[in-house]
């Protein structure tokens, strides 16, 4: 791209965050020939829907991460900068990065994502592990295997060892997938790889504050998920809230203290830090308050999209923090930036449905037009969708190899290694 | 296995270290029905010959690591303990572990491996990275990509940025493979992913104290390797020693200070710490001094094998610290343990040859009967051998996927992501 063309375009668009929302915005802008700088504190995009498979050693971390620079290779007008956003001067249209540089922009898309919301529960941030980043998934996996090592060693010496209890907090899609995968992992590895342990002396408990799993799904799908989790030995505790977490226990109400070797926190995310630090208007859970077209009040050139934004839903509430809303909002912001001066067009989320997998050949899928799948058809739909949307042909191949292997040899369990 | 059978066998054999030597010993003992406890501080076996591919982002760490418990699954008499050996009471036949427990043994195989030998060069241990463990490989990869990110950012702003120089110390097989892979990585990623950088402003330098590469290979293979590395732009500095390493420089003699963004130390390994700490008799490079049958003087039930031991060669010297000697010595120790009271049989290393790969379709192979290969035949032999010996069908498949992908799309470069 010539110097002249750049000058014609002005400072270009800065997109902050290489998650689903940011990548979607970059895609639309790049296809329109706009000059874009993508900024992300990591060098990679994380395919978050499969993090629970990294956490349960079914996939390697590299299978769900995709190099940001590689992703942008064929977009000649797009640059990548590995840095974190630390400040904004909205009136000057300047973003400050933690590498000491500043980027001028004439359009800005904030897609910085969220962080696990521990809801201020004492000890949760210190002792529970979220399920939002690749590091989270690594941490769950490493703690889990260290716990099994330790329990196996204790069981070898003691006649009645302490049971191994894994607690998942939150019965949404992430919690359900995590609990199901943990139960299947215990089924697969305990009897064969940790021979002093009894499977019966290990347990997965799912704690949910409300009276049902998968609140966003239809009742028959919720019932199916509940039955499938129970069939896999997951103990379900409804109407139960977590009061505190320590290194060895979780205190629930009702119920009191429960031994817990690992607490996975899948109760929700919030965007509280960055919007507050940047002085942006905030909605619930610390998300950025945006206008109907996803721009900031008073700054039609600045957009917030994906998990960091309170994306308006048609019913007046906000859209769930999932991949589809992130992608659609990223695209919408980019389209708005491509027609400056035009009348703002409100973001309208098109519900493409939702899926959650409970285990091998067990999933629920809520598709448009009230199509509802359970069991093997839902599971196959889930596998296909995730393979198709997983970025990058090599990652797809690698995941396919791992999944096929896993499926054919499931009883023999996974071989992803825990690192310490 | 019944309690009675165990009692008949006594305390069993303890093997410390899940590398090539330890795994080989366990294999022989398990097939003979002996009760074995394998102890390793990690939970996994590392396929060290491919570490340089992890370091250069061609393979994921999980591709070259294999779960120790999984490996032992079908060996019913073998137990695994994740712990480090911290003490030995040879007269009582007791090994003390860092988890606070002790293991009684009636046979002991020490296969704890080695550590990078920085030869006391000032700053080397702090600033250079070895190439012996999976963590080393991760560290090289992460530093390398962070360095390229930083250089790309600087190059975007400065008219004549500092060149990016990667220095490899040591011209043995590890150094040659590392230097070749780094040069190919720069060829692949710099022009396409780091667009402000010029490939000419990046450089790989290989520093070797002697006057030739690959001292263990035949002259024509050395010449081939030298020519192939030079063709890939690797600057070769022979008769050059490293005097010191800092965070930004390496000082060589002759030559003085050289800017270096990354220093990979492939100059050798030593076993200095553990044998000294355990009070064992030591030979050169801190390795354990063993009798011709690999047992400890005065302790016919204790063996040292693999990189931790000074394995006797037929010519009176010691055998190189490579996979083949490790495997053969592990097997030999196990066979000696299986015939207690018999006359000790000396270890005789059978040379199966050696291989080193320089890059795509470029390798050298020194096989028995003076068969010497270079170029594509050597490279294909190298690929085949490593695939066959790589533990575990799933790892093999995953490596095959990665390699095939890499081969077919090499100009487009790797997609393994750096983590920070």
CATH number for the region B3-41+83-114+271-338 comes to 3.50.50.60
pLDDT digits (tens, 9 = 90+) for A208-234: 999 999 988 899 999 999 999 999 999
Per-residue confidence (pLDDT) for residue A406, from 0 to 100: 66
CA distance B131 to B383: 20
- Judged by CB atoms closer than 8 Å, whether chains meet at B194 and A395 is answered as no
Beta-carbon separation of A415 and B43 below 8 A: no
List the 176-235 stretch of A: residues with Cβ below 8 A of B: 189, 192-195
Residue B160 has pLDDT above 70, yes or no: no
Of A43, A60, A409, which has the smallest distance from its Cβ to B418's Cβ?
A43
- Please report the pLDDT score of residue B331 as a whole number: 96
Question: A156-191 pLDDT, tens per residue?
Answer: 876 666 789 999 999 999 999 999 999 999 998 888
Check CB contact under 8 Å for B43 and A398: no
Give the sign of the dihedral formed by CA A154, CA A156, CA A160, CA A166.
positive
A416/B62 Cβ within 8 A:
yes
Mean pLDDT over each residue of chain B, to the nearest integer: 88
Res. B1: pLDDT tops 50 = no
Question: Does the structure show a pLDDT above 90 at A265?
Answer: yes
Q: Give tens-digit pLDDT for A382-409.
A: 888 777 777 666 677 777 777 776 666 6
Give the model's pLDDT for residue A166: 97
Q: Which of B62, B134, B415 sits opposite A66 (nearest CB)?
A: B415
Mean pLDDT of chain A: 88
pLDDT digits 0-9 by tens, A104-129: 999 999 999 999 999 999 999 999 99
Option in B157, B394, B405 nearest A397 (CB): B405
Topology match between the domains A3-114+271-338 and A124-269+353-412: yes
A6 has a pLDDT exceeding 80 = no
A85 has a pLDDT exceeding 80: yes
Per-residue pLDDT, B406: 66
Q: Report the pLDDT value the prediction gives residue B414, as an integer from 0 to 100.
A: 52
Tokens of A239: 């109407």
Question: Are A65 and B402 an interchain contact pair (Cβ–Cβ within 8 Å)?
Answer: no
Is residue B12 within 8 A of residue B37, CB to CB? The reply is yes
Examine the pLDDT at B137 and tell me if it is beyond 80.
yes
A-B C-beta contacts closer than 8 Å? 117
Q: Is the peptide bond before B282 cis (omega within 30 degrees of 0)?
A: no
* Domain B124-268+353-412 in CATH 3.50.50.100: yes
Query: Token digits for B353?
Result: 């040859």
Over residues A64-72, mean pLDDT? 87
pLDDT value of residue A416 = 59
Q: What is the pLDDT, as a whole number, of residue A226? A: 96
* Residue position matching structure tokens 């998650």: A19
Percent over 90 (pLDDT), chain B: 58
Higher pLDDT, B18 or A270: B18
Q: Does the beta carbon of A47 lie under 8 angstroms from any beta carbon of chain B?
A: no
End-to-end CA distance of chain A: 46
Nearest Cα to Cα of residue B44 among A126, A89, A225, A418: A418
Distance from C-alpha of A54 to C-alpha of A182, rounded to nearest angstrom: 11
pLDDT band at residue B107 using 50, 70 and 90 as cut-offs:
very high
**Res A412: pLDDT:** 46
- Supply the CATH classification number for the domain A3-114+271-338: 3.50.50.60
Which of the residues A102, A177, A336, A366 is marked catalytic?
A177
pLDDT of residue A410: 54
**Residue B336 CA: distances (Å) to CA of A49, A161, B29, B333:** 52, 38, 10, 5
What CATH code would you report for A124-269+353-412?
A: 3.50.50.100
CA distance B49 to A338: 51
Q: C-alpha A258: how far from its chain's center?
A: 27
Q: Cβ separation of B73 and A412 shorter than 8 Å?
A: yes
What is the C-alpha separation between A6 and B371, in angstroms, rounded?
60
Chain A residues with beta carbon closer than 8 angstroms to that of B149: 43, 82
Give the per-residue pLDDT at B311.
94
Q: Which residues of A touch B69 (CB under 8 A)?
A: 189, 193-194
Distance from CA of A395 to the nearest CA of B (A): 8
Report residue B165's pLDDT band, with 50, 70 and 90 as the boundaries: very high
For residues B114 and B132, give the distance between their C-alpha atoms in angstroms, rounded to a whole number. 8
- In sequence order, the 6+-apart residues with CB closer than 8 A to the CB of A64 are A46, A47, A48, A50, A51, A53, A54, A134, A137, A390, A395, A399
Please write the tens of the pLDDT for every residue from B67-106: 888 888 888 889 999 999 999 999 999 999 998 999 999 9
Cα(B117)–Cα(B140) distance, integer angstroms: 17
Q: Cβ separation of B193 and A67 shorter than 8 Å?
A: yes
| B276 Cβ neighbours under 8 A, 6+ residues apart | B282, B286
Catalytic residue status for A92: no
Name the residue among B327, B338, B343 with its Cα closest to residue B292: B343
User: Is residue A243 predicted with pLDDT exceeding 90?
Assistant: yes
pLDDT of residue B411: 47
Instruction: Please tell me the distance from the alpha carbon of residue B128 to that of residue A11, in angstroms, as a whole number.
Output: 40
The angle subtended at Cα A182 by Cα A176 and Cα A185, nearest 5°, is 140
Q: Residue A378 and residue A274: Cα distance in Å, rounded? A: 37
From the list B99, B397, B419, the residue facing A401 with the nearest CB is B397
Give the closest-approach CA distance of A149 to chain B in angstroms. Answer: 7
Provide the pLDDT for residue A159: 66
Chain A residue with minimum CA distance to B59? A62
Closest CA to B40 of B5, B65, B77: B65
Please calculate the CA angle B94-B97-B98 and round it to the nearest 5 degrees. 155
Q: Is B118 on the interface with A (CB under 8 A)?
A: no
Rounded CA separation A152/A165 (Å): 13
- Band (pLDDT 50/70/90 cuts) for residue B304 is very high
Q: What is the mean pLDDT of residues B142-158?
A: 87
The closest CB to that of B73, out of A70, A82, A193, belongs to: A193
Band (pLDDT 50/70/90 cuts) for residue A148 is very high
- Beta bridge partners, A168, equal A206, A264
Of A306-320, A344-358, B154-168, B170-184, the least confident = B154-168
Q: Does residue A293 register a pLDDT over 70?
A: yes
**B369-to-B295, B351, B352 alpha-carbon distances in Å:** 31, 10, 10
Three-state SS string over B131-200 comes to CCCHHHHHHHHHHHHHHHHHHHHHHHHCCCCCCEEEEEECCCHHHHHHHHHHHHHHHHHHHHHCCCCCHH
**Cis peptide leading into A254, omega within 30 of 0?**
yes
**A95 — pLDDT class (breaks 50, 70, 90):** very high
User: Can you tell me the distance from the alpha carbon of B39 to that of A196, in angstroms, rounded to the nearest whole number?
Assistant: 16
For an interface test with A, give the residue of B65, B69, B155 to mutate (most A CBs within 10 A): B69
Q: Evaluate whether A130 touches A51 at the Cβ level (below 8 Å).
A: no
* Residue B316 DSSP SS3: coil
Residue B34 has pLDDT above 60, yes or no: yes
How far apart CA B84 and CA B62 sit, in angstroms, is 22
- From chain A, pick out residues whose CB is under 8 angstroms from the CB of B65: 417, 419
On whether the CB atoms of residues B67 and A141 are closer than 8 A, the answer is no
Interface test with B, best of A44, A65, A415 (most B CBs within 10 A): A415
Of A70, A99, A413, the CB nearest to B153: A99
Q: Which of B19, B69, B70 is nearest to B48 (CA)?
A: B19
- pLDDT band for position B386 (cuts 50, 70, 90): confident
Residues contacting residue A53 through CB under 8 Å, at least 6 positions apart? A59, A64, A181
Distance CA B40, CA B84 (A): 6
Confidence band (pLDDT; 50, 70, 90) for B252? very high
CA distance A45 to chain B (A): 9
Q: Return the active site residues of B.
A: 177
Highest-confidence range of A20-29, A394-403, B353-362, by mean pLDDT? A20-29
Q: Which of residues 288-327 of A touch B (CB under 8 A)?
A: none
- Report the pLDDT averaged over residues A263-289: 88
Residue in A153, A394, A412 nearest the CB of B405? A394
Domain boundaries of chain A, sorted by first residue: 3-114+271-338, 124-269+353-412
DSSP A163-208: PEEEEEE--SHHHHHHHHHHHHHHHHHHHHH-TTS-GGGEEEEEE-
Q: Which two tokens stand for residue B156?
A: 């975007």
3-state SS, residue A280:
coil
**A37 compared with B270, residue with greater pLDDT:** A37
Surface of B (386-415) touching A: CB under 8 A: 392-395, 397-398, 401-402, 405, 409, 412-413, 415
Whether chain A has a CB inside 8 Å of the CB on B281: the answer is no
B402: which 2 tokens? Answer: 């990665």
What sign does the CA torsion over B106, B111, B117, B119 have?
Answer: positive
Please judge whether B44 and A417 are an interchain contact, meaning their C-beta atoms are less than 8 angstroms apart: yes
């Amino acid at each position: 791209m010539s110097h002249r063309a750049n000058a014609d375009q002005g400072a270009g668009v800065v997109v902050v965050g290489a998650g689903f929302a940011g990548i979607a915005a970059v895609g639309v802008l790049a296809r329109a020939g706009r000059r874009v700088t993508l900024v992300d504190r990591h060098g990679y995009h994380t395919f978050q829907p499969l993090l629970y498979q990294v956490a349960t050693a079914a996939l390697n971390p590299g299978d769900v991460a995709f190099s940001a620079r590689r992703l942008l290779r064929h977009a000649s007008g797009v640059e990548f900068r590995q840095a974190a956003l630390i400040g904004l001067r909205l009136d000057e249209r300047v973003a400050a990065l933690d590498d000491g540089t500043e980027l001028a922009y004439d359009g800005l898309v904030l897609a910085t994502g969220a962080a696990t919301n521990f809801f201020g529960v004492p000890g949760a941030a210190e002792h529970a592990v979220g399920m939002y980043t690749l590091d989270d998934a690594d941490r769950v996996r490493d703690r889990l295997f260290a716990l099994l090592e330790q329990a196996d060693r204790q069981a070898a010496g003691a006649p009645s060892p302490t049971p191994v209890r894994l607690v998942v907090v939150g019965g949404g899609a992430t919690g359900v997938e995590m609990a199901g995968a943990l139960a299947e992992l215990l089924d697969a590895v305990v009897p064969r790889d940790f021979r002093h342990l009894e499977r019966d002396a290990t347990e997965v408990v799912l704690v949910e504050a409300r009276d049902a799993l998968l609140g966003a799904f239809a009742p028959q799908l919720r019932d199916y998920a509940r039955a499938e989790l129970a069939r896999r030995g997951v103990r379900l505790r409804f109407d139960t809230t977590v009061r505190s977490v320590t290194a060895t226990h979780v205190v629930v109400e009702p119920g009191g203290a429960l031994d817990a070797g690992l607490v996975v926190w899948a109760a929700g995310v919030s965007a509280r830090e960055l919007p507050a630090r940047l002085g942006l208007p905030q909605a619930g859970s610390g998300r950025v308050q945006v206008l109907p077209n996803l721009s900031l009040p008073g700054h039609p050139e600045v957009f917030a999209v994906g998990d960091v934004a309170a994306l308006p839903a048609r019913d007046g509430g906000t859209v769930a923090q999932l991949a589809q809303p992130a992608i659609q909002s990223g695209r919408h912001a980019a389209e708005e930036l491509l027609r400056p001066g035009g009348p703002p067009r409100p973001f309208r989320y098109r519900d493409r449905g939702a899926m959650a997998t409970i285990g091998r050949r067990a999933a629920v899928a809520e598709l448009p037009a009230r199509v509802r799948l359970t069991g093997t058809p839902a599971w196959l739909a889930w596998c296909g969708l995730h393979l198709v949307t997983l970025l990058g042909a090599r990652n797809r191949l690698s995941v396919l190899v791992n999944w096929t292997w896993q499926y054919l040899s499931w009883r023999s369990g996974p071989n992803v290694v825990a690192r310490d």
